[in-house]
Amino acid sequence: MTSLINRTGSLVSGFYDVGDAINAKYESTKELHHIKEIIRWGVDYLLKTFNSSVDTTNNIVAKVVQGLASRGSKLNNHYSWMRPEDIDYQCWLPSVWARCSDLAAEVAAALAVASIVFKNDKANSYKLVHGVFTLWKFA
């Protein structure tokens, strides 16, 4: 990747698509709205992992799983190539009920950054900031 060096330093990083580097700004490629939709999809999920409607929570979902692929023939995410919305089998939700500062802080950081991305959408930005403070207390 030495060809990606310019006067300001290395440009190695960013998004890669099948070996191609994508180095365009999203505003100039008319993709900023699409990127915001992707971010919203992710933070909407993060808000579902804890009770984000209250000021204080006592747990956060750490992971969503349905068994191990190496055990038995039960349908699980290793055998199923479908949209998450179409999954109809039961999943196991390991939750953290005690303080889990690393997980809570990571989710809070993601929500905080997303609140800046959506600063023009005041209601959504406020919801994200509220989630940050809720998780901050939990951590």
How many separate domains does the chain show? 1
Rounded CA gap, 26 and 28, in Å?
Answer: 5
pLDDT, tens only, 81-116: 667 677 666 666 666 767 688 889 999 999 999 999
Q: Is the pLDDT of residue 73 over 90?
A: no
Range of 35's domain? 30-138
Q: Give 133's pLDDT tier (boundaries 50, 70, 90).
A: very high
Residue 16 in domain: no
- Contact call for residues 124 and 46 (beta carbons, < 8 A): no
Q: Is the pLDDT of residue 45 over 50?
A: yes
- Tell me, what's the pLDDT at 27? 60
Mean pLDDT calculated for residue range 20-29: 58
**Chain centre to alpha carbon of residue 79:** 23
- Kindly report the three-state secondary structure assignment for every residue of 73-90: CCCCCCCCCCCHHHCCCC
Burial of 15 from C-beta contacts in 10 A (0-12 / 13-18 / 19+): exposed
Mean pLDDT of the chain: 76
Rounded CA gap, 111 and 105, in Å?
Answer: 10
Residue 106 in domain: yes
Q: Give 4's pLDDT tier (boundaries 50, 70, 90).
A: very low
Mean pLDDT calculated for residue range 121-131: 96
